[in-house]
Amino acid sequence: MTCMTLSAYSEYSTQKSLDSGLDQVHIPPGGKEQVNLSQFRWSPKKECIFALFLPCASEKPYYRSSTHSYFHKKMDELFPAAWHKILQICTISEVIGIIPEDLEDKILIENAQLYWYEHYPAANEGDVERTKYWLSNFIQKYKFSKNFAYLTSKTFRLIVDIPEMNIFPQNYDSRNPIFEFRRSTNVHQVFDELITDYCNVLVKRYQLWGSQKNSKSIKTDIINLIQKEKSVTYQDLKSKFNKKKGLNLALFHLSTERSNYEGGIFLQKTGDSYLFINAIENSNMFAI
Q: Identify the weakest region by mean pLDDT among 21-30, 33-42, 165-174.
A: 21-30
Give the pLDDT band of residue 2 (cuts 50, 70, 90): low
What is the bridge-based pairing of β-strands 50-55 and 232-233?
unpaired
DSSP 8-state symbol, 261:
S
**Looking at the domain 6-198, which fold is it?**
Rossmann fold (3.40.50)
* Residue 90 near residue 100, CB atoms below 8 Å: yes
* Residue 186 near residue 208, CB atoms below 8 Å: no
Determine the pLDDT at residue 38: 95
Determine the pLDDT at residue 207: 84
Single-letter amino acid code for the residue at 181:
F
Give the whole-number percent of the chain exceeding pLDDT 70. 87
- What is the mean pLDDT of the segment spanning 207-216? 72
Determine the pLDDT at residue 158: 96
DSSP 8-state symbol, 37:
G
* Residue 51 near residue 101, CB atoms below 8 Å: no
Determine the pLDDT at residue 57: 94
Residue 19 has pLDDT above 70, yes or no: no
Give the pLDDT band of residue 22 (cuts 50, 70, 90): very low
Q: What is the pLDDT of residues 242-288, one digit of tens each?
A: 777 788 888 888 888 766 656 567 898 888 899 999 888 888 877 75
Spatial distance between the Cα atoms of 168 and 73, rounded to a whole number of angstroms: 17
Let me know if 286 is exposed, middle or buried by CB neighbors in 10 A (0-12, 13-18, 19+): middle
Determine the pLDDT at residue 172: 93
**Whether pTM exceeds 0.75:** yes
Spatial distance between the Cα atoms of 241 and 213, rounded to a whole number of angstroms: 18
| Domain residue ranges of the chain, discontinuous segments joined by + | 6-198, 211-287
User: What does the mean pLDDT of the chain come to?
Assistant: 88
